[in-house]
Chain A
Amino acid sequence: MPVIAPRPDHDDRFFWDGVAEGRLLVRACADCGHVQHPPTPMCPACQSLRWEPREVTGRGTVLAWIASKHPSAPDAEPRIVVLVQLDDGPRLVANLYGADTSWAINDLAVEATFVEIDGIRLPGFQPARGAA
């Protein structure tokens, strides 16, 4: 399945720059510390415009998942899309690697990984070491 490339803009380029370096960065308010994802230019908690990127561990738990295929021309291999609650950060949507739909994916402990598909670098998740 072809990947639709992300389109970094002024407010989220830091995230994609981080992905290129293999780091998972989230937007933290420089004044009150509120973490906002997806990021916004203003902190919704204190209205500050000052912020800094904060690196998160990438460890988390799967809240929900789907198998993504083309609706009328399914690929042989679906992409598993997961919504992950990060242990030390916000929720993040990405693909799950190293598991298939026969797994009990809900509540699975995962860790971040980085992949390159069609020349596009994306964050992803894989079962955490020791999880199965």
Chain B
Amino acid sequence: MSLPPRQTAIVGIGATEFSKNSGRSELQLAAEAVKAALDDAGLRPADVDGLVSFVQDTNDELRLIRSVGIEQVTWASRTPFGGGGAMSTVQHAAAAIVSGAAEVVVIWRAFNERSGHRFGQPAQGPTQAGMSWHTPFGLDTPAKMYSLWFQGYMHRYGLTNEDFGRYAVVARRHAATNPKAWFYEQPITLDDHQSSRWIVEPIVRLLDCCQESDGGVALVVTSAERARHLAQPPVLVEAAAQSSVLAGDVLFNYYHDDLATFPEASHVADQLWRASGLSPADVDVAMIYENFSPIVFYLLEAYGFCGPGEAKDFIADGQIDLTGSLPVNTHGGLLGEAYIHGVNSIQEAVRQIRGTAVNQVAGAEVALATAGRSAVLLTRA
């Protein structure tokens, strides 16, 4: 099953600045981002009747409603799996609109993820439920948890950390020309990457890791019909999908047969192509959620942008550069722009379709934003 294509649209985007110390509450970040997205869309708080966020977001719906002046909400939902489920926020919103449960849905994600609770720091005891199989053995950070999976990929295809560095260089080059990026005007070389310290030997170095960021991002979704009368050129939700499969896990994805594949991502990709009738060759630009560089390699292959084991050469050949066949993370990604749990990457996909990105891909008509176990395909109206 899938959502009917082109029935809904992203009509507003908004964000705070991306920083390491916002100096204000997570609720304020959320409210600022939502207000900015509504202004962008030409809508008022009273127009909003649906809210979608992450299970992990600390902001309560009612506090946000009271802060922004939203009057009556008929739909509220949250997506599981942290950043992996980032893009399913759009699926939730679109499903609510298509079903008639809501008409104008705001998606938000806001946190002080650097000045407050830092995801990248080692977990302290006691072990969280379900983690007894992993954390007692030293898998106490997302970098370590994911790297045990990534190492299977490296071993299968003979990659070294330098191969991952070639992705990081591209992300930082794109961030360097994005004034909103934390790493604006700070590109790196492969030597810089290779001399950064190991975070998890022999898989990821410091410059392979997404940032820890403070900030908020919001999106406004409504029907394609209503979108035609709003302030911005509509960006249609061509397809939106998510995946959870038997034997799968989010942080500890070690139990599928083949460690060098990402079955959830392949499942999401299949849904997108089937629902839209599009194929990998139709995608003009892709935002790929990268908590760590290696995940980009899995996703390029899962979506069929290149074959199994070919991501290394695809990236080394410049295919993900702005001049390549598939520019990736044109905003700098979560390594270069900021880590707002991937929702900032949806915004960049919207800008690419609008034609307003700072690193604009000329004539972009189909944009993918994917977070592995969730994705959205956006097209021009």
Q: Do A and B come from one complex?
A: yes
A64-B151, A93-B254, A120-B136 known; A7 vs B201 contact (CB < 8 Å): no
Answer whether residue B23 sits at the interface, using C-beta atoms and an 8 A cutoff. no
Q: Are B202 and A101 closer than 8 Å at their CB atoms?
A: yes
Query: Cβ of B137: which chain A residues have Cβ within 8 Å of it?
Result: 68, 79, 81, 93-95, 122
User: Nearest chain A CB to B315's CB is how many angstroms away?
Assistant: 22
Residues 141 to 161 of chain B near chain A (Cβ within 8 Å): 141, 143-144, 147-149, 151-152, 155
One of B85-93, B119-127, B303-311 contacting the partner: B119-127
CA distance A4 to B127 in the complex (A): 6
B152 touches A71 (CB 8 A): no
24 A–B contacts, CB within 8 A, in A order:
A1-B138, A3-B136, A4-B125, A5-B126, A5-B136, A6-B132, A7-B127, A7-B131, A12-B132, A16-B132, A64-B149, A64-B151, A67-B202, A68-B137, A68-B144, A68-B200, A70-B122, A79-B137, A81-B148, A83-B148, A83-B259, A93-B134, A95-B137, A101-B202
Q: Main SS of chain A's interface residues?
A: loop
CB within 8 Å for A91 and B254 given contacts A7-B132, A66-B200, A71-B199: yes
B132 partner residues in chain A, CB cutoff 8 A: 6-9, 12, 16
**A68's contact among B124, B125, B126, B139, by CB below 8 Å, is which?**
B139
Q: When the two chains form their complex, are residues B147 and A66 in contact, meaning their CB atoms are under 8 A apart?
A: yes
User: When the two chains form their complex, are residues A81 and B152 in contact, meaning their CB atoms are under 8 A apart?
Assistant: no
Query: Contacts A4-B135, A93-B254 known; A101 to B149 CB distance under 8 Å?
Result: no
Query: Are B155 and A66 in contact, with the CB atoms below 8 A?
Result: no
A78 nearest CB across to chain B (Å): 7
Specify the chain A residue showing the minimal Cβ separation from B126: A7
Q: With A8-B132, A71-B199, A81-B139 in contact, do A91 and B255 touch (Cβ < 8 Å)? A: yes
* Chain B residues in 8 Å Cβ range of A3: 136, 138
Partner of A66, one of B121, B126, B203, B255: B203
Q: How far is the CB of A115 from chain B (nearest CB, A)?
A: 11
Question: Taking the complex as formed, is A44 at the interface, i.e. its CB lies under 8 A from any CB of chain B?
Answer: yes
B40 beta carbon closer than 8 Å to chain A: no
Contact among B120, B133, B143 with A93 in the assembled complex (CB-CB below 8 Å): B133
A-side interface size class:
35 or more
B1 adjacent to chain A (CB < 8 Å) = no
Instruction: Say yes or no: B129 contacts A67, CB within 8 Å.
Output: no
Is A4's CB under 8 angstroms from B148's CB?
no
Say if the beta carbon of B246 comes within 8 Å of chain A.
yes
Residue B17 CB within 8 A of the other chain: no
The distance from the CB of B76 to the nearest CB of chain A, in whole angstroms, is: 30
CA distance A57 to B129 in the complex (A): 27
Count chain B residues whose beta carbon lies closer than 8 angstroms to a beta carbon of A: 41
With A4-B123, A8-B132, A83-B152 known, 14 other A-B pairs at CB within 8 A are A3-B136, A4-B126, A6-B136, A9-B132, A38-B130, A64-B259, A66-B147, A71-B141, A79-B138, A81-B144, A83-B254, A93-B133, A93-B148, A120-B136
Is A65 interfacial (CB 8 A cutoff)?
yes
Residues of B within 8 A of A64 (CB): 148-149, 151-152, 155, 254, 259
Which single residue of chain A is at the shortest CB-CB distance from B203? A66
A1 to B123, CA, bound (A): 12
Q: Are B202 and A106 in contact (CB under 8 A)?
A: no
Q: Is B57 in contact with chain A by the CB < 8 A criterion?
A: no
B-facing residues in A1-32 (Cβ within 8 Å): 1-9, 12, 16
Binding site for B on A (CB under 8 A): 1-9, 12, 16, 37-38, 44, 63-71, 74, 78-79, 81, 83, 90-95, 101, 106, 120, 122
B140 in contact (CB, < 8 A): yes
Q: Is the CB of B136 within 8 A of A63?
A: no
How far, in whole Å, are A79 and B141 apart by their CA atoms in the complex?
14
In the assembled complex, the Cα of A120 lies from the Cα of B127 at a distance in Å of: 13
Complex Cα spacing A7 to B135, Å: 10
Residues of A within 8 A of B259 (CB): 63-64, 83
Specify which chain B residues have a CB less than 8 angstroms from the CB of A16 in the assembled complex. 132
B126 contacts A95, C-beta separation under 8 Å:
no
- Residues on the A chain within 8 Å of B136, using CB: 3-6, 120, 122
The 6 residue pairs across chains A and B that have the minimum distance between CB atoms: A68-B138, A6-B132, A64-B152, A64-B151, A7-B127, A79-B138
How far, in angstroms, from A83 to B255 measured CA to CA in the complex?
Answer: 10
Q: Knowing A66-B144, A79-B138 are in contact, say whether A6-B127 is a contact too (CB < 8 A).
A: yes
Query: Which residue of the partner chain B has the closest CB to A6?
Result: B132
Complex: chain A residue closest to B139, CB-CB:
A81
Q: Which residue of chain B has the shortest Cβ distance to A80 in the bound complex?
A: B138
How distant is the Cα of A5 from the Cα of B122 in the complex, in angstroms? 14
- A71 near B148 (CB under 8 angstroms)? no
The smallest C-beta distance from A76 to any residue of chain B, in angstroms, reads 13
CB distance from A77 to the nearest CB of B (A): 11
CB A2 to nearest CB in B, in angstroms, measures: 8
